[in-house]
């Protein structure tokens, strides 16, 4: 039974610990008697019996402790000490009565009378008090531990929900941005009375949007699936740019089954199209690379041969920060410090975006 099941079934856990704890006490008590004295005949039933009485008394303590939640700490400690001592006195009284009734010869042979018997009962009560006090300490210790674990589970659940909401927000943030650009292009085609091409673009747009809606924004996809989704998007852009947009896919076989966040590369490619292809008279080339390194890292590259950016001044393309920031934020939420997102110059000109994330496959997650 794991921690979550234990938290859900507190009653089962309580009784399991009760039986285990008192069984261990009865066994240690019996072994102590055998080691230090000669037990009377038919003594084997006695330790389990008094252990059962002790367990019943701890149930009464449990009922008492349930009504102590609103007490201040000093009063609670006083109640625990007093309750433990009272339970110990009752336990010793029952033990003494039963023992003297069932084993009268043992009591007579010891010859315990007067002050000696009173001292013996006092020592036994102190011993019983410590047993009850230890039980009480363990009871509150385990209860507080489980409360902390429950709070931790609630915090993790809340963090997971916030994490999921943030990822969905980042993923869906792309759709309005992309739709604005695409619908603006379709509007231009309609104004130019190029209705056939506008119809083709609408059809391809619907295919891409169907994919984004059917795809779980929290799920990871293989690199091969990400490339296919990217082709759906590029089919739309090919309508706009035709031969001005040249594409180059360099996907290593070792990386095709690796997992990555869905639609991670689309805003980066869109960024390259907007600032490297659309503003160049002759267009340009966009290269998408993926490779799996031997050190357990998946490397992804989006490379264009546009004007690039001034990395020394730390300036990004004007207005082109939405896709880059979105991608960087998603990686940070998903992988924390285990990822890198870097911008560098392309030789002889252009921008290279390099993403490195932990190498994962379906077999790693199963």
Looking at the chain, the whole-number percentage of residues with pLDDT higher than 70 is: 80
pLDDT (mean) for 184-206: 86
**268 neighbors 323 (Cβ within 8 angstroms):** yes
Picking from 109, 137, 156, the residue at the C-terminal end of a domain is 156
> Do residue 322 and residue 226 come from a single domain?
yes
The predicted structure's pLDDT at residue 66: 83
- Look at residue 141 and tell me if it is in a domain: yes
> Do residue 261 and residue 312 come from a single domain?
yes
Q: Output the furthest CA–CA distance in the chain (Å, rounded).
A: 119
For the four alpha carbons of 95, 100, 106 and 109, in that order, the dihedral sign comes to: positive
Pairwise CA distance, residues 184 & 186, whole Å: 5
Confidence of residue 177 (pLDDT cuts 50, 70, 90): low
Instruction: Give me the chain's average pLDDT, please.
Output: 80
Residue 102 burial class via C-beta count within 10 angstroms: exposed 0-12, middle 13-18, buried 19 and up: middle
User: Which residues on adjacent β-strands are paired with residue 249?
Assistant: 288
- Look at residue 178 and tell me if it is in a domain: no
> Do residue 274 and residue 149 come from a single domain?
no
pLDDT (mean) for 127-143: 88
Confidence of residue 106 (pLDDT cuts 50, 70, 90): low
DSSP for residue 316: P
Instruction: Say whether pLDDT at 117 is over 50.
Output: no
Instruction: Say whether pLDDT at 167 is over 90.
Output: no
Cβ within 8 Å of residue 9, ≥6 positions away: 1
- For 351, the 3-state DSSP assignment is strand
Pairwise CA distance, residues 248 & 236, whole Å: 16
The predicted structure's pLDDT at residue 311: 63
Q: How many residues does the chain have?
A: 366
pLDDT (mean) for 256-277: 88
- Look at residue 171 and tell me if it is in a domain: no
- Look at residue 173 and tell me if it is in a domain: no
> Do residue 21 and residue 88 come from a single domain?
yes
pLDDT tens sequence across 67-79: 877 778 888 888 8
Which H or E run contains 163? helix 114-191
pLDDT (mean) for 345-364: 87
**275 neighbors 317 (Cβ within 8 angstroms):** yes
- Look at residue 322 and tell me if it is in a domain: yes
pLDDT (mean) for 134-153: 85
Instruction: Say whether pLDDT at 102 is over 90.
Output: no
Instruction: Say whether pLDDT at 88 is over 80.
Output: yes
The predicted structure's pLDDT at residue 142: 86
Distances (CA, A) of 223 to 30, 84, 247, 290: 66, 64, 17, 8
> Do residue 28 and residue 77 come from a single domain?
yes
96-99 contacts, C-beta under 8 A, 24 or more apart: 96/121, 96/124, 98/46, 98/49, 98/50, 99/46
Cβ within 8 Å of residue 268, ≥6 positions away: 302, 323, 324, 327, 353
> Do residue 26 and residue 145 come from a single domain?
yes
The predicted structure's pLDDT at residue 315: 45
What's phi and psi for 193, nearest 5 deg? 65, 25
**4 neighbors 153 (Cβ within 8 angstroms):** yes
Pairwise CA distance, residues 140 & 348, whole Å: 70
Confidence of residue 353 (pLDDT cuts 50, 70, 90): very high
What's the number of domains the chain is made of? 2
Domain extent at residue 107: 3-156
Residue 306 burial class via C-beta count within 10 angstroms: exposed 0-12, middle 13-18, buried 19 and up: buried
- For 361, the 3-state DSSP assignment is coil
- Look at residue 176 and tell me if it is in a domain: no
Cβ within 8 Å of residue 69, ≥6 positions away: none
> Do residue 242 and residue 327 come from a single domain?
yes
The predicted structure's pLDDT at residue 207: 83
- Look at residue 79 and tell me if it is in a domain: yes
The predicted structure's pLDDT at residue 12: 81
> Do residue 128 and residue 205 come from a single domain?
no
> Do residue 217 and residue 345 come from a single domain?
yes
Confidence of residue 313 (pLDDT cuts 50, 70, 90): low
- Look at residue 180 and tell me if it is in a domain: no
> Do residue 8 and residue 125 come from a single domain?
yes
Picking from 134, 156, 178, the residue at the C-terminal end of a domain is 156
DSSP for residue 347: S
The predicted structure's pLDDT at residue 145: 85
Question: Greater confidence, 70 or 288?
Answer: 288
Picking from 128, 156, 184, the residue at the C-terminal end of a domain is 156
> Do residue 231 and residue 335 come from a single domain?
yes
């Amino acid at each position: 039974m794991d921690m979550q099941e234990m938290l859900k079934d507190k009653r089962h856990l309580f009784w399991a610990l009760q039986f285990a704890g008192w069984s261990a006490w009865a066994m240690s008590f019996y072994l102590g008697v055998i080691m230090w004295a000669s037990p009377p005949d038919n003594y084997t039933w006695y330790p389990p019996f008094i252990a059962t009485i002790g367990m019943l008394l701890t149930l009464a303590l449990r009922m008492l402790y349930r009504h102590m939640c609103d007490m201040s700490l000093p009063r609670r400690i006083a109640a625990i000490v007093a309750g433990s001592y009272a339970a110990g006195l009752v336990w010793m009284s029952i033990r003494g009565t039963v023992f003297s009734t069932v084993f009268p010869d043992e009591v007579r042979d010891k010859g315990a009378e007067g002050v000696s018997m009173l001292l013996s009962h006092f020592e036994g009560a102190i011993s019983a008090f410590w047993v009850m006090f230890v039980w009480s300490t363990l009871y509150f210790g385990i209860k507080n531990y489980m409360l902390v674990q429950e709070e931790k589970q609630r915090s993790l659940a809340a963090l997971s929900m916030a994490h999921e909401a943030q990822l969905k927000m980042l993923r869906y943030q792309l759709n309005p941005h992309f739709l604005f650009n695409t619908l603006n292009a379709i509007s231009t085609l309609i104004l130019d009375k190029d209705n056939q091409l506008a119809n083709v673009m609408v059809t391809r747009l619907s295919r891409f949007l169907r994919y984004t809606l059917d795809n779980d924004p929290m799920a990871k996809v293989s690199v091969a699936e990400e490339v296919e989704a990217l082709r759906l998007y590029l089919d739309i852009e090919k309508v706009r740019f035709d031969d001005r947009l040249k594409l180059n896919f360099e996907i290593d076989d070792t990386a095709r089954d690796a997992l990555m966040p869905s639609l991670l590369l689309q805003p980066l490619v869109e960024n390259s199209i907007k600032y490297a292809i659309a503003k160049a008279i002759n267009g340009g080339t966009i290269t998408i690379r993926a490779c799996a390194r031997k050190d357990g890292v998946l490397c992804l590259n989006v490379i264009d041969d546009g004007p690039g950016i001034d990395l020394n001044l730390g300036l990004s393309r004007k207005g082109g920060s939405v896709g880059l920031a979105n991608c960087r934020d998603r990686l940070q939420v998903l992988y924390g410090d285990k990822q890198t997102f870097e911008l560098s110059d392309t030789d002889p000109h252009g921008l290279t975006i390099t993403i490195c994330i932990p190498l994962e496959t379906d077999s790693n997650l199963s």
